[in-house]
Homo-oligomer: A and B are copies of this chain.
Amino acid sequence: TEAGETIRATLFPGDGIGPEIAESVKQVFNVAGVPIEWEEHYVGTEVDPRTESFLTWESLESVRRNKVGLKGPMATPIGKGHRSLNLTLRKELGLYANVRPCNSLPGYKTRYDDVNLVTIRENTEGEYSGLEHQVVRGVVESLKIITRQASLRVAEYAFHYAKTNGRERVSAIHKANIMRKTDGLFLKRCREVAEKYPEITYEEVIIDNCCMTLVKNPGTFDVLVMPNLYGDIISDLCAGLIGGLGLTPSCNIGEGGICLAEAVHGSAPDISGKNLANPTALMLSAVMMLRHLQFNDQADRIHNAILQTIAEGKYRTADLGGKSSTSDYTKVVCDHI
């Protein structure tokens, strides 16, 4: 790799098992010759008043400058008044779409072998507004906010994604039969964008029916786009179909072209520091980051090495029923690159 091609990317190893699995990513990137220089930022133990969270202003600036990054799990700080670090990141960086490809992994057996779909979640509004109050004693309300702008933005991203990734269908998931105005607005924007993509089939599926179909016949879905809470629920449901969050990559698309790849599993404090963690989700997320950067050759090689290691089944971490350590598993992936 020539020096001039080197890309700077932000790395948030995160809490708990985060640093160990981030180390695995660094190793596979080295072996594959990925021309990335990491700018590493740790989540601290003191609240930065500028962000009101353990994430410092500098760490956010790093992503804004580099426009690309990778994030491990971040524990929500204990104690009143601390904002979740994940939510802080979404808000501060305007991470408007969470993208999760969900594919059955050959060789890793679950009840499903035909999952090949992508969930695209609106990531900034809806039920996550934080607006709640007590009306009178014993009566509380939460506000779900849907805007034209955020709906349009995520719909545009979903169709763009479908087109550039050779996908054929986009399903908008909703409950507009009940929430006619909010989910109705979301659907209107999806329809508007759908008209610009006549080559992509567009359909609308009610969330309860969607979840039933997902567990009966996930092969019927291709790209799913939806408001925040439905995305939260359905993306985890889909992860479950292929084996769980330890195997599911994700990436967040933010304002100004930011791409922040992210393992969405927890920080697993119980096994942290014990060389037992499964780095697969973070590695696969890093592959999404590489594709975003058009490092397709390295992305393919790393991706195939991970799939091959899992398919062979000899080296697996404990969460997948194996006996390998994080470092042994990582070494096998490196050998396969």
Chain A residues engaging chain B, CB cutoff 8 angstroms: 76, 84, 110-112, 127-128, 132-135, 137-149, 175, 177-182, 184-185, 207-209, 211-216, 229, 232-237, 239-241, 243-245
Contact = CB atoms under 8 A, between A and B. Distances in A.
Given A229-B175, A233-B233, A241-B215, A143 B141 contact: yes
A133 B317 CA distance: 50
A182 B140 contact: yes
A141 B144 contact: yes
23 contacts: A84-B177, A110-B216, A132-B181, A132-B182, A134-B181, A138-B149, A139-B145, A139-B146, A140-B145, A141-B143, A141-B145, A141-B146, A142-B179, A143-B143, A178-B229, A208-B232, A208-B237, A214-B215, A214-B240, A215-B237, A215-B240, A216-B240, A216-B243
Contact of A132 (B110, B133, B179, B245): B179
Contact of A236 (B84, B135, B143, B211): B211
Given A139-B148, A142-B146, 18 more contacts: A76-B177, A84-B177, A110-B216, A111-B112, A138-B149, A138-B185, A140-B182, A141-B145, A142-B143, A142-B182, A175-B229, A175-B232, A208-B233, A211-B234, A211-B240, A212-B237, A212-B240, A216-B244
A139 B240 CA distance: 34
